Amino acid sequence: MSETAFDPKMLEALVCPMTQDTLTYDAESQELVSKAGKMAFPIRNGIPVMLVDEARKLD
C-alpha cells in the first residue's frame, strides 16, 4: 500500500480551526502545525485531519 502525498498547495486554503491562523507543513512528521494554536494536525493518506480532538498539543 503506497502512502498518498500531501499537496502543499492545500496550505493556501487551510487554516487552524481554533485560531483561523495560517499553518505550516512538517513533511518529516506529516503534520500541519499551528504555531498560534500550539497544535499539530495529522495528515493521513495525504488528507489533513483538521479536528481539534485529533490534534497533538505542542509545548
Report if residue 22 sits inside a domain: yes
Residue 1 has pLDDT above 60, yes or no: no
Average pLDDT over the chain, rounded to whole? 92
Residue 9 lies in a domain: yes
In a domain, 32, yes or no: yes
User: What is the chain's percent helix, strand, coil content, to nearest 5?
Assistant: 15, 30, 60
Q: Which domain holds residue 6?
A: 1-36
Query: Looking at the domain assignment, is residue 3 inside a domain?
Result: yes
Per-residue model confidence (pLDDT) at position 15: 96
Say what the alpha-carbon torsion angle 31, 53, 58, 22 is, to the nearest 10 degrees: 60
Q: Which helix (H) or strand (E) holds 29?
A: none
Report pTM.
Answer: 0.88
Q: Maximum Cα–Cα distance for the chain, whole Å? A: 35
Joined together, the cell numbers standing for residue 32 give: 500541519
What pLDDT score was predicted for residue 53? 97
- Decide if 55 is inside a domain: no
